[in-house]
Structure 1
Amino acid sequence: MKEISCKLLVIGAGPGGYVCAIRAGQLGIDTVIVERSKPGGTCLNVGCIPSKALIHAADEFDKVRHMAGDKAMFGIRVQQPTLDLAATMDWKDGIVDRLNLGVTGLLQKAKVKILEGTAKFRDGKTVLVETETGSQIVRAENIVIATGSAPVELPVLPFGGVVLSSADVLSLREVPRKLVVVGGGYIGLELGTAFAKMGAEVTIVEATEQILPHYDAELVKPVVKRLAELGVNVLVGAKAEGLDDQETGLVISDGGENQRTLPADKILVTVGRRPCTEGLGLEELDLDMAGRFVRIDERCRTSMRGIYAIGDVTGEPMLAHRAMAQGEMVADIIAGGRRVWDKRCIPAVCFTDPEVVSAGLSPAEARAQSIDVKIGQFPFSANGRAMTMAAESGFVRIVARADNHLVLGIQAVGSGVSELSSAFALAIEMGARLEDIAGTIHAHPTRSEAFQEAAFKALGHGLHM
């Protein structure tokens, strides 16, 4: 059996793992990374990237459909378009392949040794890796667990047949006539909206009383309105009970005895994600756990010396950019740097139509901490750039302390607001005050002007409304 010794072993080549390995290699650390599938993890292969490609294709198809016949959107008139989903999926796969090669190239450039296989702990310094060519032992001074997460499977709706996971749906070659989405969180709504634009008859089934339950109701309202315009049927307070006897529909209930069946060609289940720790051999270690997740401190250290954990395997928020930031930090720490996780906010983006962004505290969260706040909100219906793009739905909102105007949170809902998320996060991280945002010249005409206008409004002198 072959043996390898290194200073750092990274288990998992998702966003957190490959960033950690690349940074470690740049710092001159002898690094090995193990990945059982393709580099990039869920995000690149069956998550963030392919889903956004599909969402964009759906958006473009929907725009063209609205130019067909007598509609003449923007004065443009076209023939009735058709969608070849198989060709769309091939285009999406091409993007994923290019990024796979890019990640591999970056790892190689950083002189990281890549092992394709499955890792299992033997002890806190030794890992067995099963590869296609045989078993290898890796002995490492430091180990980073970056194994990510996988879709949660409902006992009453196991994946297979007509029941799809968020990964499965990204491989469909035809648009289903009737699609039922179980779970009204961001994954279910992003994919459900995309398929509705591609022509599917979509129903969203959500157990709570609001879709996007982790966002405040004001942010969700424009999304609900758009779903209705797209013909999406939204059922809240509804529980999935399982397939009907013919496996041609989903049985739902209102939580009581009242049941009915929703006809479905495909059922997409998006009710959350679970950490990927099975088969990793964690039973051979003495790690403190937080439920199913690995417990870490402010330096991503676990309870065992020399073992770190990053990304989804450590719990919420399960976001690729959080994992990347953790991975970069851990590499610096292993190289001898003095780093600590002290982020003021981690922006969250929902790529629905319209998009939703949340960074920092919402008004309710700030008030729950007994903070007296000033709130400024500016609608895109008063923004020139939004008007020129026929995208007037939504707004930008700033939450600041009433006493010193320190910005505590920024939220937005609207077309393309995901691209404002970095500006929102930067303002909070840099300790900006309302006067800083209001006093910064924002280019005209852009959607970003709504950010400045929201600050003016919070200061009591809104200019354009």
Structure 2
Amino acid sequence: MKTISKKLLVIGGGPGGYVAAIRAAQLGLPTVLVEGEHLGGVCLNVGCIPSKALIHAAGEYEKANRFAGDNALGIRVQQPSIDLARMQQWKDGVVGKLTGGVAALLRKAGVQVVRGWATLLDGKTVEVATQEGEPLRIACEHLLLATGSVPVPLPSLPLGGPVITSTEALALTERPKHLVVVGAGYIGLELGMAWRKLGAEVAVVEAAGRILPTYDEELAKPVLASLRRMGITLHLNCKAEGLTEAGDGLHVRSSKADEFALPADKVLVAAGRVPRTQGYGLESLQLDMAGRAVKIDDQCRTSMRNVWAIGDLTGEPLLAHRAMAQGEMVAELVAGHKRRFDPMAIPAVCFTDPELVVAGMTPADAESRGLEVRVSSFPFAANGRSLSMESGEGFVRVVARADTHQVLGWQAVGAGVSELSAAFGYAIEMGARLEDVAGIIHAHPTLGEAVQEAALRGLGRALHI
């Protein structure tokens, strides 16, 4: 068996893994990256990027349908149609450009990429079943695990036939007549809303008593109102019990023990994701675990010397940008730099309609830590840019210390608020006070003015409300 040796071996070519490999190579470290499927991982191939492309296409189709009828803008078009196969080709083209770009960046940096599935032999050696069929053994001084996550399986709904995951939901070339989404988290709602805009009848089944149960209820209210306007049926406090005998529906049981069946051409299981810990010999390393996740310290070190772990494998939050930041840090640590992973804020975005952003502490977070805070918000109903975009729904909210006015957190819900996440991160990480944000000139007319106005309101001197 052929054997190669490198300073750093990265298992997994997702956002965290490929960023780590590129940064390591930039720093002069001999680096090899092993990936069994596609470079870019779940995010670029069957997650973040294709889902946003689908959401965009669905929004454009919905807009065209609105313009086919009476509308305030006075635009008239003929009744639109959509070629789903062609839409999927466009979406796949977007994905292809980005994954091809990742491959080019790895080549440019000098990273050796091995296509195949790795099996861990010990903390310094793996054996790879390569796509070419020739087994390869790789020895390393440092091992970085970046294997990502997998969908949470539901025993009552084994995958296959009408039961699909987000991966299949992103690739449908025929519109389901009835789509049932199991799970009202961000994945389920993003895809459910997109397919509703594309013309499917959509129902959502959620075991909790509200949508987006891991998010602030006040932030979720505009999303709930949007779901109802769109005609998406919600079954809260309900559990999926399995397919009907004919396979054309889903048995559901409510918390009151009522049973009923929902018609379903497709059942999308979106019950969350868990770290990918099976199938590559991770158990042989006997690493310390934190529940289902690999336990790490503030430098992403595991319990075994020179074995590192990043991204979804290490637990919440399961976010690509967190994995990227961790990967860059690990590469620099291996190169001898002094680093630790201690961000004050990791923004999280739901690309629902309307969008939702959370960065830093919420009011509940501050209360749980015993902090006295000022909480203020500014509605988009008073923001010119939002109104000119036919929106006006939602708000920006800031959480700041009561004594020093240091900004601890931002939240927003509304059209286009995902683009505010960078400003939120800057303010928190740079230790801005309400006075700092309020004193910065914000361009007019933009959604960012609501950020300034929220800070002004926190100081008791809002100008436009």
Q: TM-score range by the shorter chain?
A: over 0.9
Aligned to 1:95: 94
1:251-294 residue CA offsets vs partner (Å, 9 max, x unmatched): 11113531000011110000011211212112321311112211
Give the match's secondary structure for 1:66. helix
Normalization by structure 1: what TM-score? 0.99
- Tell me which residue corresponds to 2:203: 203
Tell me, yes or no, if structure 1 residue 354 matches structure 2 residue 351: no
**Residues 8-407 of structure 1 correspond to what in structure 2 (within 5 A)?**
8-69=8-69, 71-131=70-130, 132-407=132-407
Q: How many residues align?
A: 464
DSSP 3-state at the match of 2:73: helix
**Cα displacement string for residues 14-33 of structure 1 (whole angstroms, at most 9, x for unaligned residues):** 00000000000111100000
Tell me how far 1:73 sits from its aligned partner: 4.2
CA distance in 1, matches of 2:166, 2:400: 37
**For the residues of structure 2 that align with 1:296 and 1:355, how far apart are their CA atoms?**
32
Corresponding residue SS for 2:166: coil
Per the normalisation by structure 2, the TM-score is: 0.99
State the Cα distance separating 1:170 from its structure 2 match: 1.0
Determine the C-alpha separation between the residues in 2 that align with 1:291 and 1:371.
29
1:454 is paired with a residue whose SS is: helix
Which deviations, in whole Å up to 9, do the C-alpha atoms of 1:103-162 show, x marking residues without a partner?
A: 000000000000000001111111101112310000000010000011111000011100
1:84 deviates by 1.2
1:120–1:281 CA contact under 8 A, matched in 2: yes
Aligned to 2:450: 450
Q: Are the counterparts in 2 of residues 67 and 73 from structure 1 also a CA contact under 8 Å?
A: no
* Partner amino acid, structure 1, of 2:48: C
The answer to whether the 8 Å contact 1:66/1:73 transfers is: no
CA distance in 2, matches of 1:47, 1:111: 27
Residue 332 of structure 1 contacts residue 339 of structure 1 at CA under 8 Å; is this kept in 2? Answer: yes
Deviations 1:202-224 (CA, angstroms, capped at 9, x unpaired)? 00111001100111111011001
Q: Partner letter of residue 157 of structure 2? A: L
| Aligned counterparts of 1:435 and 1:283: Cα–Cα separation in 2 | 52
Give SS of 1:37's match. coil
Identity over aligned pairs, percent: 59
Secondary structure of 1:441's counterpart equals coil
The one-letter code matched in structure 2 to 1:356 is L
Shift of 1:43: 0.2
Runs of 4+ in 1 over 6 A off after TM superposition: none
Structure 1 Cα separation of the partners of residues 214 and 72 of structure 2: 35
Tell me how large the CA RMSD over aligned residues is: 0.8
Please, which moves more after superposition, 256-265 or 420-429? 256-265
Distance in 1 between residues matched to 2:35 and 2:257, nearest whole Å: 47
CA distance in 2 between partners of 1:45 and 1:114 (Å)? 18
**2 CA distance for matches of 1:284 and 1:251?**
40
